[in-house]
Structure 1
Amino acid sequence: MTILLSDPRVRATALLDAGDPLVRLPGHLGPARALVRTGLADRLVRAAAQLPAGICLRVVEGHRSLADQQAIISAYSADLCALHPGISAADLDELTSRFVAPIDVAGHVAGAAVDLTLVDACGEDLDLGTPIDATPEQSDGRCYFAAAGIGADARAHRELLARVLGGAGLVNYPTEWWHWSYGDRYWALVTGASHALYGPVDLAIAA
């Protein structure tokens, strides 16, 4: 059964922030040079080194501000309300969390999550079945990591991601094939860790 980020067990997971700073990823992991915690950066570099020749990781987003996270929540919640008139607050939270996390448990806000894909040696996107950030509604559920209805190449590329990223200690959010994290509350819950390593980081305060 898929554990969603709205699950009370995620919020109840203990947090003992390790204090690792945010760093920019090296250029070979994508031109965005996303900001992530050092523990995650090290694991992404390790995972990338395990890819076959001619295939590279491209990270498109890492740390996300509190304001940006809230903006995504608000926009997607509004879309869902339009699709489901009269939806309850609890059901709205659950549906919203398939695509964007509540702020207090959001891996991106903690610098503990990345959105990424695979590219070839020329930097062209490989087939992963859907674009990054395709909602469940836009993709007819094909954004789920284990979704049916994607081609053999897309399935193989998703399995390659799982092999190298899982081998480096990251976990996937199963409603988004592109979302991987290390050290956040979701990671701690699904791996059985005693506590999360990274909580929300406000860059304005950190600076």
Structure 2
Amino acid sequence: MILLSDPQVVGIPVQDCGEPLAEIASVPAIALDSRERDEDGAYGRVRTGVLERLSSASERLPNGVRFLVIEGHRSSTEQARRFALYEDRIRRSGITDPVDLRRRASAFVSPVEVAPHCAGAALDLTLIDADGVELDMGGAVNGHRTGDEKYCPLDAPGLSDRARRNRDLLARTMGDAGFVNYPTEWWHWSYGDRYWALVTKADSAIYGPA
């Protein structure tokens, strides 16, 4: 598994295409959750091309199922804060080696210099039914914050048949639209960032920090 702290990711060049950020709420078919809302509302924006692909993906979902976006863009300052907090949590568990700390932290929080969210390229999202109730995904979005790391990976073992089917639906729909998953987080999908470029073997990322 390639983590975001891997030198291969950092080594991917960025040739930003200059697309602006767009409001996720401008697409009525996609629901936007407020749990990660920030003062500037950045959480509700992604690059135009990312939103277009998400909108296209939403049309492939079964009737009565919608995307619920938890977070899109994130400032570099907020990203750095979250990385430091998670690194501190790991440090308190007894891990002190700086290299190991960085590697372990990057399993769930990206180093700021390669963070897909900071590029407006990433979406944390799940699926909801027609009543707005989240489908059973076998674990919560951002489950690592509550010690639920076991069920965070997309291919986590021990899931119920229902949760596995729902994850497979999410993966199939997002994958068909060109997104790639960060395998330690079933809810995290991106397009156009450095991690995407590495996975898809693109020559460069098309989105840098926004």
For the aligned pair, the TM-score class normalised by the smaller chain equals over 0.9
- Secondary structure in structure 1 of the residue aligned to 2:70: strand
2:74 paired with 1:64: yes
2:11 paired with 1:12: yes
Match of 2:117 in 1: 108
- Of the three residues 38, 41, 54, the one matched with 2:51 is 41
Within a 5 Å distance, the mapping from 1:21-100 to structure 2 comes to: 21-25=20-24, 26-32=27-33, 34-85=44-95, 87-100=96-109
Superposition TM-score, scaled by structure 1 size: 0.93
Superposition TM-score, scaled by structure 2 size: 0.92
Amino acid at match of 1:161: L
Spell out, residue by residue over 1:139-175, the C-alpha distance to the aligned partner (whole angstroms, 9 max, x if none): 2421000010111111111110111100000000000
Amino acid at match of 1:65: S
- Secondary structure in structure 1 of the residue aligned to 2:124: strand
Spell out, residue by residue over 1:66-94, the C-alpha distance to the aligned partner (whole angstroms, 9 max, x if none): 11111111111111001124x21000010
Spell out, residue by residue over 1:94-151, the C-alpha distance to the aligned partner (whole angstroms, 9 max, x if none): 0000001011110000000010000000000001111100118712421000010111
- Secondary structure in structure 2 of the residue aligned to 1:180: strand
1:99 and 1:136 in contact (8 A); partners too = no
Deviates more, 1:130-139 or 1:110-119: 130-139
Inter-CA distance 30–198: structure 2 relative to 1 (3 Å threshold): same
- Secondary structure in structure 2 of the residue aligned to 1:114: strand
**Distance in 1 between residues matched to 2:146 and 2:168, nearest whole Å:** 23
- Secondary structure in structure 1 of the residue aligned to 2:143: coil
**Distance in 2 between residues matched to 1:28 and 1:34, nearest whole Å:** 14
**Distance in 2 between residues matched to 1:137 and 1:29, nearest whole Å:** 27
The number of residues matched between the two structures is 199
**Distance in 2 between residues matched to 1:136 and 1:35, nearest whole Å:** 23
**Identity within the alignment, %:** 46
**Distance in 2 between residues matched to 1:75 and 1:51, nearest whole Å:** 36
2:110 paired with 1:120: no
Gaps of 5+ in 1: 202-207
Question: What is the root-mean-square deviation of aligned Cα atoms in Å?
Answer: 1.3
Match of 1:204 in 2: none
Deviation at 1:14, TM superposition (A): 1.2
Q: Which ranges of 4 or more aligned residues in structure 1 deviate by more than 3 Å?
A: none
**Distance in 2 between residues matched to 1:101 and 1:81, nearest whole Å:** 17
Amino acid at match of 1:121: A
**Distance in 1 between residues matched to 2:172 and 2:84, nearest whole Å:** 34
**Distance in 1 between residues matched to 2:73 and 2:188, nearest whole Å:** 12
Amino acid at match of 1:30: A
2:179 and 2:196 in contact (8 A); partners too = yes
Match of 1:205 in 2: none
**Distance in 2 between residues matched to 1:140 and 1:187, nearest whole Å:** 23
**Distance in 1 between residues matched to 2:29 and 2:185, nearest whole Å:** 23
